[in-house]
Amino acid sequence: MANAGRRRAVLGCVVLPLAWSLGMATAGAEEGDPLLATVDRPARIETTAEALGASTGATSRRVVVSVTHYQPTDDGAPVEAVVTASVAGGDERDLGRFGITPDRPFTSTRPATTQRFGFALPPELAAALAAGKPVTFSVRLVPVRGEGKGAALRVGAVEFR
């Protein structure tokens, strides 16, 4: 009997962290993660001028969104990610859209396996950053068809290049 209890404890110590690292934890455990996007809640990343760097070549700047985790929909229907940005108190502006291909679950812990998507940084957003105003980038999952239930995407970083 004591061995059975110990085996369950060891199994819980090994399997639960493994399930968490593979993104298989329950949605309730992930609530509040600002970098996790679902069809119900976007990932949000706020950045400031320090992230932009000293050079303000506004027209040549690009925003690169890195994705470190993706879980497709439960029914296999496609979703796309919509990237927007807004200056504090302003309207959101679409920067672009992307889809994860192949449409299979993945979790990346290494830069070589992270998926990256680049978008032009509009001059007015670069100017707002240069003026010290924070800009919020959002990544939303939007179902192409169906409800998109079960789909999730984790943003690893938003960078400027």
Cα distances (Å, whole numbers) of residue 30 to 54, 79, 113, 150: 35, 20, 22, 13
Residue 141 in this model has a pLDDT that exceeds 70: yes
Question: Are the CB atoms for 81 and 98 separated by under 8 Å?
Answer: yes
- Which pLDDT score is estimated for 31? 62
The token duo for 107 is 């979790």
Report the CATH fold assignment for 33-160. Jelly Rolls (2.60.120)
Radius of gyration for the alpha carbons in the chain, expressed in angstroms and rounded: 19
Residue 107 in this model has a pLDDT that exceeds 70: yes
- Which pLDDT score is estimated for 86? 95
Domain boundaries, the chain: 1-31, 33-160
Q: What is the mean pLDDT of residues 14-29?
A: 34
Cis peptide before 102 (omega within 30 of 0): yes
Q: What is the mean pLDDT of residues 19-46?
A: 68
How much is the pTM? 0.76
Residue 106 in this model has a pLDDT that exceeds 60: yes
pLDDT digit string, tens, across residues 35-71: 999 999 999 999 876 765 545 444 448 899 999 999 9
- Which pLDDT score is estimated for 94? 96
Q: What percentage of the chain reaches a pLDDT higher than 90?
A: 54
